[in-house]
Chains A and B, each alone.
Chain A
Amino acid sequence: MPEGPVWKQIPEGGIEILPGSTDRIRTGAWRTERPVIDFSKCTHCMICWVDCPDACFEVSEEQLTGVDLHHCKGCGICASVCPAKCIEMIPEASFAEAAQK
Protein backbone atom coordinates (compact mmCIF):
# COMPACT_ATOMS: atom_id res chain seq x y z
CA MET A 1 0.00 0.00 0.00
CA PRO A 2 1.50 3.40 -0.94
CA GLU A 3 2.24 5.86 1.82
CA GLY A 4 0.75 9.30 2.23
CA PRO A 5 -2.60 10.96 1.91
CA VAL A 6 -5.59 9.31 0.25
CA TRP A 7 -5.18 11.28 -2.99
CA LYS A 8 -1.80 9.65 -3.55
CA GLN A 9 -3.16 6.15 -3.02
CA ILE A 10 -6.29 5.97 -5.17
CA PRO A 11 -6.21 5.10 -8.90
CA GLU A 12 -5.44 8.10 -11.12
CA GLY A 13 -8.33 9.67 -12.96
CA GLY A 14 -10.91 7.50 -11.20
CA ILE A 15 -10.04 4.67 -13.57
CA GLU A 16 -11.54 1.46 -12.21
CA ILE A 17 -9.08 -1.35 -12.84
CA LEU A 18 -11.16 -4.12 -11.24
CA PRO A 19 -13.99 -5.00 -13.67
CA GLY A 20 -17.44 -5.63 -12.24
CA SER A 21 -17.50 -2.82 -9.70
CA THR A 22 -21.04 -1.93 -10.75
CA ASP A 23 -22.21 -5.23 -9.28
CA ARG A 24 -20.35 -4.68 -5.99
CA ILE A 25 -21.45 -1.10 -5.42
CA ARG A 26 -25.04 -0.87 -4.25
CA THR A 27 -26.85 2.05 -5.84
CA GLY A 28 -30.51 1.40 -5.05
CA ALA A 29 -30.65 3.54 -1.93
CA TRP A 30 -32.11 6.63 -3.59
CA ARG A 31 -35.19 4.75 -4.83
CA THR A 32 -38.54 6.17 -3.68
CA GLU A 33 -40.73 3.43 -5.17
CA ARG A 34 -40.01 -0.23 -5.77
CA PRO A 35 -41.55 -2.61 -8.33
CA VAL A 36 -43.60 -5.41 -6.81
CA ILE A 37 -44.45 -8.30 -9.12
CA ASP A 38 -47.72 -10.19 -8.93
CA PHE A 39 -46.44 -13.58 -10.08
CA SER A 40 -50.00 -14.93 -10.38
CA LYS A 41 -50.43 -12.65 -13.43
CA CYS A 42 -46.84 -12.66 -14.82
CA THR A 43 -46.49 -14.35 -18.23
CA HIS A 44 -42.66 -14.31 -18.16
CA CYS A 45 -42.60 -12.38 -21.45
CA MET A 46 -39.36 -10.71 -20.27
CA ILE A 47 -40.22 -7.27 -21.62
CA CYS A 48 -39.37 -5.82 -18.20
CA TRP A 49 -36.03 -7.62 -18.34
CA VAL A 50 -35.33 -6.11 -21.77
CA ASP A 51 -36.34 -2.56 -20.88
CA CYS A 52 -34.86 -2.22 -17.38
CA PRO A 53 -32.02 0.35 -17.70
CA ASP A 54 -30.21 -1.16 -14.70
CA ALA A 55 -30.55 -4.87 -15.63
CA CYS A 56 -32.30 -5.53 -12.32
CA PHE A 57 -34.67 -8.32 -13.27
CA GLU A 58 -33.54 -11.70 -12.04
CA VAL A 59 -34.20 -14.68 -14.26
CA SER A 60 -33.70 -18.38 -13.72
CA GLU A 61 -34.43 -21.08 -16.29
CA GLU A 62 -36.37 -18.64 -18.51
CA GLN A 63 -38.60 -17.64 -15.60
CA LEU A 64 -38.71 -14.21 -14.00
CA THR A 65 -37.85 -14.73 -10.34
CA GLY A 66 -37.44 -11.29 -8.76
CA VAL A 67 -35.87 -7.82 -8.73
CA ASP A 68 -32.36 -6.84 -7.61
CA LEU A 69 -33.28 -4.06 -5.20
CA HIS A 70 -29.62 -3.24 -4.54
CA HIS A 71 -29.50 -1.69 -8.02
CA CYS A 72 -33.12 -0.82 -8.92
CA LYS A 73 -33.59 2.99 -8.94
CA GLY A 74 -37.38 2.79 -8.99
CA CYS A 75 -37.78 4.42 -12.39
CA GLY A 76 -41.00 2.49 -13.10
CA ILE A 77 -40.28 1.67 -16.74
CA CYS A 78 -41.03 -2.01 -15.98
CA ALA A 79 -44.48 -1.22 -14.60
CA SER A 80 -45.16 1.01 -17.61
CA VAL A 81 -44.20 -1.56 -20.27
CA CYS A 82 -45.60 -4.72 -18.62
CA PRO A 83 -48.38 -6.02 -20.93
CA ALA A 84 -49.87 -8.15 -18.15
CA LYS A 85 -50.02 -5.16 -15.76
CA CYS A 86 -48.51 -7.34 -13.06
CA ILE A 87 -45.87 -4.85 -11.79
CA GLU A 88 -46.94 -2.20 -9.30
CA MET A 89 -44.73 0.63 -8.01
CA ILE A 90 -45.11 0.78 -4.22
CA PRO A 91 -43.67 3.71 -2.18
CA GLU A 92 -40.59 2.76 -0.16
CA ALA A 93 -42.09 4.51 2.87
CA SER A 94 -44.70 1.78 3.19
CA PHE A 95 -41.97 -0.87 3.43
CA ALA A 96 -40.13 1.18 6.05
CA GLU A 97 -43.37 1.50 8.06
CA ALA A 98 -43.99 -2.24 7.77
CA ALA A 99 -40.46 -2.96 8.99
CA GLN A 100 -40.96 -0.72 12.02
CA LYS A 101 -44.12 -2.55 13.09
Chain B
Amino acid sequence: MTTIAQTAQQSLAINGGESVAYAMRQTDPEVVAAYPITPQTFIIEKFSEYVADGLVNTEYINVESEHAALSACVGASAAGGRAATATSGPGLALMFEILGVTSGMRLPVVMHLCSRALSAPINILCDHSDAMAMRDQGWVMMFGADPQEAYDQALVAHTIAEHAQVKLPFANVLDGFTVTHSVERVDVLPDHAAKAFVGEYEPEVWALQPGGGATFGGLDASDFYFEHKRQQAEAISNALSVAQMQLDAFADVSGRQYSLVETYMLDDADVALIVLGSSEGMVRAAVNDARKDGIRAGMLRVRLYRPFPVEQVRAALGSVRAIGVLDRAISFGAPGNSLFQDMHTATHGMSDRPFSAGFVYGLGGRSTPKQEFRDAIRRVADMLDRESEPDGPVYLGLH
Protein backbone atom coordinates (compact mmCIF):
# COMPACT_ATOMS: atom_id res chain seq x y z
CA MET B 1 0.00 0.00 0.00
CA THR B 2 1.31 3.41 -0.95
CA THR B 3 0.76 5.83 1.89
CA ILE B 4 0.68 9.54 1.34
CA ALA B 5 3.78 9.74 3.49
CA GLN B 6 5.55 8.16 0.55
CA THR B 7 4.18 10.72 -1.88
CA ALA B 8 5.61 14.18 -2.18
CA GLN B 9 4.72 16.67 0.49
CA GLN B 10 5.42 20.29 -0.26
CA SER B 11 7.85 22.10 2.02
CA LEU B 12 6.93 25.70 2.75
CA ALA B 13 8.76 28.41 4.67
CA ILE B 14 5.89 29.86 6.69
CA ASN B 15 5.15 30.92 10.24
CA GLY B 16 2.84 29.11 12.65
CA GLY B 17 -0.07 31.43 12.01
CA GLU B 18 0.16 30.82 8.28
CA SER B 19 0.54 27.09 8.79
CA VAL B 20 -2.70 27.00 10.77
CA ALA B 21 -4.45 29.05 8.08
CA TYR B 22 -3.13 26.62 5.48
CA ALA B 23 -4.70 23.72 7.39
CA MET B 24 -7.94 25.69 7.72
CA ARG B 25 -8.02 26.21 3.96
CA GLN B 26 -7.66 22.48 3.47
CA THR B 27 -10.36 21.61 6.02
CA ASP B 28 -12.64 24.29 4.52
CA PRO B 29 -15.01 24.72 7.49
CA GLU B 30 -18.58 25.83 6.77
CA VAL B 31 -18.14 28.75 9.17
CA VAL B 32 -15.16 30.63 10.57
CA ALA B 33 -15.93 33.47 12.97
CA ALA B 34 -13.09 35.36 14.58
CA TYR B 35 -12.04 38.76 15.87
CA PRO B 36 -8.48 39.88 15.26
CA ILE B 37 -6.12 39.99 18.22
CA THR B 38 -2.36 39.82 18.50
CA PRO B 39 -0.71 37.30 18.18
CA GLN B 40 -3.51 35.33 16.46
CA THR B 41 -3.72 37.88 13.64
CA PHE B 42 -1.68 35.96 11.06
CA ILE B 43 -4.22 33.15 11.09
CA ILE B 44 -7.26 35.21 10.25
CA GLU B 45 -5.43 37.61 7.93
CA LYS B 46 -4.23 34.71 5.83
CA PHE B 47 -7.53 32.86 6.03
CA SER B 48 -9.40 36.02 5.01
CA GLU B 49 -7.26 36.09 1.88
CA TYR B 50 -8.28 32.53 1.09
CA VAL B 51 -11.91 33.54 1.50
CA ALA B 52 -11.47 36.64 -0.67
CA ASP B 53 -9.67 34.60 -3.33
CA GLY B 54 -12.45 32.04 -3.43
CA LEU B 55 -10.18 29.18 -2.33
CA VAL B 56 -12.61 28.05 0.37
CA ASN B 57 -16.39 27.76 0.61
CA THR B 58 -16.32 29.06 4.17
CA GLU B 59 -18.79 31.65 5.39
CA TYR B 60 -16.40 34.02 7.14
CA ILE B 61 -18.22 36.05 9.78
CA ASN B 62 -16.70 39.35 10.86
CA VAL B 63 -17.99 39.67 14.39
CA GLU B 64 -18.00 42.51 16.89
CA SER B 65 -16.24 40.61 19.67
CA GLU B 66 -14.77 37.28 20.67
CA HIS B 67 -17.92 36.51 22.65
CA ALA B 68 -19.80 36.81 19.37
CA ALA B 69 -17.13 34.87 17.47
CA LEU B 70 -17.47 31.77 19.59
CA SER B 71 -21.24 32.22 19.79
CA ALA B 72 -21.40 32.24 15.98
CA CYS B 73 -19.35 29.04 15.93
CA VAL B 74 -21.74 27.47 18.44
CA GLY B 75 -24.69 28.35 16.23
CA ALA B 76 -22.99 27.07 13.09
CA SER B 77 -21.94 23.84 14.77
CA ALA B 78 -25.37 23.23 16.28
CA ALA B 79 -26.86 23.86 12.84
CA GLY B 80 -24.70 21.03 11.51
CA GLY B 81 -21.65 22.78 10.09
CA ARG B 82 -17.97 22.48 10.84
CA ALA B 83 -16.88 25.64 12.65
CA ALA B 84 -13.52 27.07 13.66
CA THR B 85 -12.15 30.17 15.33
CA ALA B 86 -8.87 31.55 16.62
CA THR B 87 -8.00 33.89 19.45
CA SER B 88 -5.47 34.88 22.10
CA GLY B 89 -5.34 35.88 25.78
CA PRO B 90 -7.87 38.66 26.41
CA GLY B 91 -9.93 37.46 23.44
CA LEU B 92 -10.26 34.07 25.08
CA ALA B 93 -11.25 35.80 28.29
CA LEU B 94 -14.09 37.51 26.45
CA MET B 95 -15.21 34.09 25.12
CA PHE B 96 -15.31 32.62 28.57
CA GLU B 97 -19.07 32.24 28.97
CA ILE B 98 -19.33 30.45 25.63
CA LEU B 99 -16.46 28.05 26.34
CA GLY B 100 -18.70 26.03 28.64
CA VAL B 101 -21.68 26.46 26.33
CA THR B 102 -19.70 24.88 23.48
CA SER B 103 -18.57 21.87 25.47
CA GLY B 104 -21.88 21.57 27.31
CA MET B 105 -23.77 21.34 24.02
CA ARG B 106 -21.18 18.80 22.84
CA LEU B 107 -20.21 20.83 19.78
CA PRO B 108 -16.87 19.97 18.13
CA VAL B 109 -15.75 23.53 17.43
CA VAL B 110 -12.01 23.91 16.84
CA MET B 111 -10.18 26.89 18.29
CA HIS B 112 -6.59 27.85 17.58
CA LEU B 113 -5.45 29.51 20.79
CA CYS B 114 -2.31 31.57 20.27
CA SER B 115 -1.39 31.88 23.90
CA ARG B 116 -0.88 35.35 25.31
CA ALA B 117 -0.67 36.83 28.78
CA LEU B 118 -3.89 38.04 30.35
CA SER B 119 -4.16 41.70 31.35
CA ALA B 120 -3.39 43.67 33.51
CA PRO B 121 -0.79 45.07 33.08
CA ILE B 122 -1.45 44.82 29.36
CA ASN B 123 0.96 42.50 27.62
CA ILE B 124 0.68 41.02 24.14
CA LEU B 125 3.39 38.39 24.56
CA CYS B 126 3.27 34.70 25.35
CA ASP B 127 2.46 32.90 28.52
CA HIS B 128 -0.10 30.25 29.38
CA SER B 129 -2.39 32.23 31.67
CA ASP B 130 -5.13 32.15 28.99
CA ALA B 131 -4.89 28.40 28.38
CA MET B 132 -4.79 27.60 32.08
CA ALA B 133 -7.90 29.71 32.62
CA MET B 134 -9.85 27.51 30.17
CA ARG B 135 -8.59 24.17 31.40
CA ASP B 136 -11.74 23.33 33.40
CA GLN B 137 -14.20 24.29 30.65
CA GLY B 138 -14.48 20.87 29.03
CA TRP B 139 -12.33 21.47 25.96
CA VAL B 140 -9.79 18.99 24.68
CA MET B 141 -6.49 20.91 24.79
CA MET B 142 -3.38 20.05 22.82
CA PHE B 143 -0.15 22.07 22.97
CA GLY B 144 2.03 22.29 19.87
CA ALA B 145 5.66 23.34 19.86
CA ASP B 146 6.40 24.70 16.38
CA PRO B 147 4.73 25.71 13.09
CA GLN B 148 4.82 22.13 11.80
CA GLU B 149 2.95 20.85 14.83
CA ALA B 150 0.58 23.82 14.61
CA TYR B 151 -0.35 22.68 11.10
CA ASP B 152 -0.53 18.99 11.94
CA GLN B 153 -2.60 19.49 15.07
CA ALA B 154 -4.94 21.83 13.20
CA LEU B 155 -5.82 18.92 10.90
CA VAL B 156 -6.00 16.25 13.61
CA ALA B 157 -8.09 18.55 15.84
CA HIS B 158 -11.30 18.03 13.87
CA THR B 159 -10.94 14.25 13.81
CA ILE B 160 -10.62 14.09 17.59
CA ALA B 161 -13.31 16.67 18.34
CA GLU B 162 -15.88 15.16 15.97
CA HIS B 163 -15.28 11.53 16.95
CA ALA B 164 -18.51 9.83 18.09
CA GLN B 165 -16.96 8.91 21.45
CA VAL B 166 -15.85 12.52 22.09
CA LYS B 167 -18.02 15.25 20.53
CA LEU B 168 -16.24 18.04 22.37
CA PRO B 169 -14.57 21.29 21.33
CA PHE B 170 -10.83 21.31 20.78
CA ALA B 171 -8.20 23.95 21.52
CA ASN B 172 -5.02 23.81 19.44
CA VAL B 173 -2.74 25.75 21.79
CA LEU B 174 0.25 27.48 20.20
CA ASP B 175 2.69 29.79 21.91
CA GLY B 176 2.10 33.35 20.76
CA PHE B 177 4.97 34.75 18.64
CA THR B 178 7.30 31.82 19.36
CA VAL B 179 5.12 29.59 17.18
CA THR B 180 2.75 32.01 15.47
CA HIS B 181 5.39 34.42 14.17
CA SER B 182 8.38 32.14 13.63
CA VAL B 183 9.05 31.16 10.04
CA GLU B 184 10.16 27.57 9.79
CA ARG B 185 9.98 24.75 7.29
CA VAL B 186 6.51 23.25 7.29
CA ASP B 187 5.75 20.12 5.27
CA VAL B 188 2.15 20.18 4.09
CA LEU B 189 -0.02 17.40 2.77
CA PRO B 190 -1.47 17.72 -0.72
CA ASP B 191 -4.97 19.22 -0.49
CA HIS B 192 -6.71 15.97 -1.46
CA ALA B 193 -4.80 14.03 1.19
CA ALA B 194 -5.57 16.57 3.92
CA LYS B 195 -9.25 16.63 2.96
CA ALA B 196 -9.41 12.83 2.87
CA PHE B 197 -7.78 12.59 6.28
CA VAL B 198 -10.07 15.10 7.97
CA GLY B 199 -13.19 13.88 6.15
CA GLU B 200 -16.65 15.38 6.22
CA TYR B 201 -18.35 16.43 9.43
CA GLU B 202 -21.42 14.23 9.80
CA PRO B 203 -23.18 14.90 13.12
CA GLU B 204 -25.78 12.44 14.38
CA VAL B 205 -28.16 15.24 15.36
CA TRP B 206 -28.22 18.84 14.24
CA ALA B 207 -30.57 21.74 14.60
CA LEU B 208 -31.43 22.22 10.93
CA GLN B 209 -31.85 18.50 10.19
CA PRO B 210 -34.48 18.14 7.46
CA GLY B 211 -37.65 16.50 8.71
CA GLY B 212 -36.65 16.66 12.35
CA GLY B 213 -34.33 19.14 13.86
CA ALA B 214 -33.40 19.43 17.50
CA THR B 215 -33.30 21.91 20.33
CA PHE B 216 -29.82 22.83 21.61
CA GLY B 217 -29.19 24.67 24.85
CA GLY B 218 -32.48 23.98 26.57
CA LEU B 219 -33.01 24.26 30.30
CA ASP B 220 -31.60 21.70 32.72
CA ALA B 221 -32.65 22.43 36.25
CA SER B 222 -31.50 20.29 39.15
CA ASP B 223 -33.02 17.25 37.46
CA PHE B 224 -30.44 16.46 34.74
CA TYR B 225 -27.64 19.07 34.83
CA PHE B 226 -25.50 16.82 37.04
CA GLU B 227 -26.02 13.89 34.67
CA HIS B 228 -25.02 15.94 31.63
CA LYS B 229 -21.80 17.05 33.34
CA ARG B 230 -21.07 13.39 34.11
CA GLN B 231 -21.49 12.65 30.41
CA GLN B 232 -18.90 15.32 29.62
CA ALA B 233 -16.46 13.80 32.09
CA GLU B 234 -16.87 10.48 30.30
CA ALA B 235 -16.48 12.05 26.85
CA ILE B 236 -13.28 13.91 27.66
CA SER B 237 -11.89 10.77 29.23
CA ASN B 238 -12.65 8.97 25.93
CA ALA B 239 -10.58 11.62 24.16
CA LEU B 240 -7.39 10.07 25.58
CA SER B 241 -7.53 6.95 23.42
CA VAL B 242 -9.22 8.72 20.51
CA ALA B 243 -6.46 11.36 20.42
CA GLN B 244 -3.69 8.77 20.17
CA MET B 245 -5.68 6.79 17.60
CA GLN B 246 -6.10 9.87 15.40
CA LEU B 247 -2.47 10.91 15.85
CA ASP B 248 -1.52 7.40 14.70
CA ALA B 249 -3.84 7.68 11.71
CA PHE B 250 -2.21 11.02 10.88
CA ALA B 251 1.21 9.38 11.07
CA ASP B 252 0.07 6.90 8.43
CA VAL B 253 -0.63 9.68 5.94
CA SER B 254 2.05 12.20 6.93
CA GLY B 255 4.92 10.13 8.25
CA ARG B 256 4.97 12.32 11.36
CA GLN B 257 4.30 10.33 14.52
CA TYR B 258 3.16 12.18 17.62
CA SER B 259 2.33 10.98 21.13
CA LEU B 260 0.28 12.38 23.98
CA VAL B 261 3.57 13.01 25.76
CA GLU B 262 6.89 13.58 24.01
CA THR B 263 10.20 12.71 25.62
CA TYR B 264 13.84 13.60 25.19
CA MET B 265 16.74 11.64 26.74
CA LEU B 266 14.33 10.26 29.31
CA ASP B 267 15.08 6.53 29.13
CA ASP B 268 18.03 6.55 31.54
CA ALA B 269 17.34 9.90 33.17
CA ASP B 270 17.52 10.52 36.92
CA VAL B 271 16.04 14.01 36.68
CA ALA B 272 13.58 15.53 34.23
CA LEU B 273 11.97 18.83 33.38
CA ILE B 274 8.26 18.76 32.51
CA VAL B 275 7.14 21.36 29.98
CA LEU B 276 4.30 22.49 27.71
CA GLY B 277 4.69 23.97 24.25
CA SER B 278 7.53 25.65 22.44
CA SER B 279 9.89 26.02 25.40
CA GLU B 280 10.81 22.39 24.81
CA GLY B 281 13.52 23.49 22.37
CA MET B 282 15.45 25.46 24.98
CA VAL B 283 14.81 22.74 27.57
CA ARG B 284 16.37 20.14 25.24
CA ALA B 285 19.44 22.35 24.91
CA ALA B 286 19.66 22.65 28.70
CA VAL B 287 19.33 18.88 29.00
CA ASN B 288 22.24 18.50 26.58
CA ASP B 289 24.37 20.83 28.70
CA ALA B 290 23.45 18.96 31.89
CA ARG B 291 24.42 15.68 30.26
CA LYS B 292 27.80 17.17 29.35
CA ASP B 293 28.19 18.05 33.04
CA GLY B 294 27.45 14.47 34.04
CA ILE B 295 23.83 14.86 35.13
CA ARG B 296 21.52 12.26 33.62
CA ALA B 297 18.78 14.72 32.65
CA GLY B 298 15.78 14.36 30.38
CA MET B 299 12.61 16.12 29.31
CA LEU B 300 8.94 15.24 29.18
CA ARG B 301 6.65 17.46 27.14
CA VAL B 302 2.92 17.14 27.70
CA ARG B 303 1.22 17.45 24.29
CA LEU B 304 -2.32 16.52 25.32
CA TYR B 305 -3.07 18.67 28.35
CA ARG B 306 -6.82 17.97 28.67
CA PRO B 307 -7.60 15.19 29.21
CA PHE B 308 -4.35 14.79 31.14
CA PRO B 309 -2.55 11.60 30.04
CA VAL B 310 -1.83 10.21 33.50
CA GLU B 311 -0.84 6.68 32.48
CA GLN B 312 1.36 7.92 29.63
CA VAL B 313 3.12 10.37 31.94
CA ARG B 314 3.77 7.66 34.52
CA ALA B 315 5.06 5.23 31.92
CA ALA B 316 7.31 7.86 30.35
CA LEU B 317 8.82 8.86 33.70
CA GLY B 318 9.98 5.29 34.25
CA SER B 319 12.82 5.42 36.74
CA VAL B 320 13.13 9.22 36.90
CA ARG B 321 13.76 10.11 40.55
CA ALA B 322 13.16 13.87 40.55
CA ILE B 323 11.14 16.19 38.33
CA GLY B 324 10.98 19.94 37.86
CA VAL B 325 7.65 21.17 36.54
CA LEU B 326 7.73 24.31 34.40
CA ASP B 327 4.59 26.42 34.62
CA ARG B 328 4.17 29.44 32.36
CA ALA B 329 1.28 30.84 34.41
CA ILE B 330 0.57 31.43 38.07
CA SER B 331 -2.47 29.84 39.64
CA PHE B 332 -2.80 32.56 42.25
CA GLY B 333 -3.20 31.26 45.76
CA ALA B 334 -3.19 27.62 44.71
CA PRO B 335 -1.05 25.06 46.57
CA GLY B 336 0.82 24.59 43.27
CA ASN B 337 0.63 26.00 39.76
CA SER B 338 -1.44 24.23 37.13
CA LEU B 339 0.97 21.80 35.48
CA PHE B 340 2.68 21.20 38.84
CA GLN B 341 -0.63 20.22 40.41
CA ASP B 342 -1.43 17.93 37.48
CA MET B 343 1.96 16.25 37.72
CA HIS B 344 1.71 15.96 41.47
CA THR B 345 -1.67 14.23 41.15
CA ALA B 346 -0.53 12.08 38.24
CA THR B 347 2.49 10.77 40.16
CA HIS B 348 0.58 10.35 43.41
CA GLY B 349 0.46 6.71 44.44
CA MET B 350 3.47 5.66 42.33
CA SER B 351 5.51 3.31 44.48
CA ASP B 352 8.68 5.18 43.52
CA ARG B 353 7.10 8.62 43.15
CA PRO B 354 9.74 11.16 42.09
CA PHE B 355 10.58 14.25 44.12
CA SER B 356 8.97 17.25 42.49
CA ALA B 357 9.75 20.94 42.39
CA GLY B 358 7.72 23.71 40.79
CA PHE B 359 9.11 26.47 38.58
CA VAL B 360 7.47 29.53 37.07
CA TYR B 361 9.05 31.00 33.96
CA GLY B 362 8.46 33.24 30.98
CA LEU B 363 5.46 35.26 32.15
CA GLY B 364 4.44 38.02 29.76
CA GLY B 365 6.92 36.86 27.16
CA ARG B 366 9.97 37.05 29.45
CA SER B 367 12.74 35.29 27.56
CA THR B 368 14.11 32.29 29.43
CA PRO B 369 17.68 31.62 28.31
CA LYS B 370 19.15 28.14 28.32
CA GLN B 371 21.11 28.83 31.50
CA GLU B 372 17.89 29.35 33.46
CA PHE B 373 16.63 25.89 32.52
CA ARG B 374 20.10 24.49 33.23
CA ASP B 375 19.86 26.06 36.68
CA ALA B 376 16.44 24.45 37.12
CA ILE B 377 17.97 21.05 36.36
CA ARG B 378 20.60 21.71 39.04
CA ARG B 379 17.90 22.49 41.59
CA VAL B 380 15.99 19.34 40.64
CA ALA B 381 19.15 17.24 41.05
CA ASP B 382 19.76 18.90 44.42
CA MET B 383 16.50 17.38 45.67
CA LEU B 384 18.08 13.94 45.27
CA ASP B 385 21.05 14.95 47.44
CA ARG B 386 18.88 16.57 50.08
CA GLU B 387 16.06 14.03 49.81
CA SER B 388 13.52 16.81 50.27
CA GLU B 389 11.29 19.03 48.16
CA PRO B 390 11.21 22.85 48.19
CA ASP B 391 8.20 24.52 49.79
CA GLY B 392 7.15 26.67 46.86
CA PRO B 393 7.98 27.37 43.24
CA VAL B 394 11.21 28.92 42.04
CA TYR B 395 10.71 31.93 39.75
CA LEU B 396 13.18 31.50 36.90
CA GLY B 397 14.60 34.72 35.51
CA LEU B 398 12.70 36.95 37.92
CA HIS B 399 14.61 40.20 38.58
Report A's interface with B, CB cutoff 8 A: 6-8, 10, 12-17, 19, 21
Given contacts A10-B224, A21-B215, A21-B218, contact A15 B230 (CB under 8 A): no
Q: Are B214 and A14 in contact (CB under 8 A)?
A: no
Task: Tell me which of A7, A10, A13, A15 has the highest count of chain B C-beta atoms within 10 A of its own C-beta.
Answer: A13
Say yes or no: is B294 at the interface (Cβ < 8 Å to chain A): no
Q: Are B104 and A13 in contact (CB under 8 A)?
A: yes
- Which A residue's beta carbon lies closest to that of B217? A14
Q: Are A13 and B212 in contact (CB under 8 A)?
A: no
By a CB distance below 8 angstroms, the chain A residues around B105 are 13-15
Report B's interface with A, CB cutoff 8 A: 104-107, 167, 205, 212-218, 220, 224, 226-228, 230-231, 235
A7 vs B227: C-alpha distance when bound (angstroms): 5
By a CB distance below 8 angstroms, the chain A residues around B231 are 7-8, 10, 12-13
| Residue from the list B107, B218, B235 in contact with A16, Cβ < 8 A | B218
A62 vs B90: C-alpha distance when bound (angstroms): 53
Q: Are B212 and A10 in contact (CB under 8 A)?
A: no
By a CB distance below 8 angstroms, the chain B residues around A8 are 231
Q: Are B214 and A16 in contact (CB under 8 A)?
A: yes
Q: Are A14 and B224 in contact (CB under 8 A)?
A: yes
| Residue from the list A6, A10, A15, A19 in contact with B216, Cβ < 8 A | A15
Given contacts A21-B215, A21-B218, contact A15 B227 (CB under 8 A): no
The number of A-B residue pairs with CB atoms under 8 Å apart is 51
The dominant DSSP class at the B interface is loop
Q: Are B228 and A13 in contact (CB under 8 A)?
A: yes
- A12-B228, A17-B212 provided; 14 other pairs, C-beta below 8 A? A7-B228, A8-B231, A10-B224, A12-B106, A13-B104, A14-B104, A14-B218, A15-B105, A15-B106, A16-B214, A16-B215, A16-B216, A17-B205, A19-B212
By a CB distance below 8 angstroms, the chain B residues around A16 are 214-216, 218
Q: List 5 A-B contacts (CB under 8 A).
A: A6-B224, A13-B105, A13-B216, A15-B214, A19-B215
By a CB distance below 8 angstroms, the chain B residues around A13 are 104-107, 167, 216, 228, 231
Closest chain-A Cβ to B23's Cβ sits at a distance in Å of 27
Q: Are A19 and B214 in contact (CB under 8 A)?
A: yes
A17 vs B205: C-alpha distance when bound (angstroms): 8
Q: Are A7 and B214 in contact (CB under 8 A)?
A: no
By a CB distance below 8 angstroms, the chain A residues around B106 are 12-13, 15
By a CB distance below 8 angstroms, the chain A residues around B235 are 12
Nearest 6 A-B pairs (CB), nearest first?
Answer: A13-B106, A7-B227, A16-B215, A7-B230, A13-B105, A17-B214
Q: Are B215 and A6 in contact (CB under 8 A)?
A: no
Closest chain-A Cβ to B267's Cβ sits at a distance in Å of 41
By a CB distance below 8 angstroms, the chain A residues around B220 are 14
A16 vs B220: C-alpha distance when bound (angstroms): 11
By a CB distance below 8 angstroms, the chain A residues around B213 are 19
A17 vs B214: C-alpha distance when bound (angstroms): 5
By a CB distance below 8 angstroms, the chain A residues around B212 are 17, 19
| Residue from the list B107, B167, B214, B227 in contact with A6, Cβ < 8 A | B227
A7 vs B232: C-alpha distance when bound (angstroms): 10
Q: Are B205 and A14 in contact (CB under 8 A)?
A: no
Task: Tell me which of A8, A16, A21 has the highest count of chain B C-beta atoms within 10 A of its own C-beta.
Answer: A16
A21 vs B218: C-alpha distance when bound (angstroms): 10
By a CB distance below 8 angstroms, the chain B residues around A21 are 215, 218
Q: Are B218 and A12 in contact (CB under 8 A)?
A: no
Task: Tell me which of A6, A12, A15, A16 has the highest count of chain B C-beta atoms within 10 A of its own C-beta.
Answer: A15
Closest chain-B Cβ to A20's Cβ sits at a distance in Å of 9
A6 vs B224: C-alpha distance when bound (angstroms): 9
Closest chain-A Cβ to B285's Cβ sits at a distance in Å of 45
By a CB distance below 8 angstroms, the chain B residues around A14 are 104-105, 217-218, 220, 224, 228
By a CB distance below 8 angstroms, the chain B residues around A10 are 224, 227-228, 231
Closest chain-B Cβ to A15's Cβ sits at a distance in Å of 5
A12 vs B238: C-alpha distance when bound (angstroms): 14
A15 vs B226: C-alpha distance when bound (angstroms): 15
Closest chain-B Cβ to A71's Cβ sits at a distance in Å of 13
Q: Are B167 and A12 in contact (CB under 8 A)?
A: yes
By a CB distance below 8 angstroms, the chain A residues around B226 are 7
A22 vs B300: C-alpha distance when bound (angstroms): 52
A19 vs B211: C-alpha distance when bound (angstroms): 10
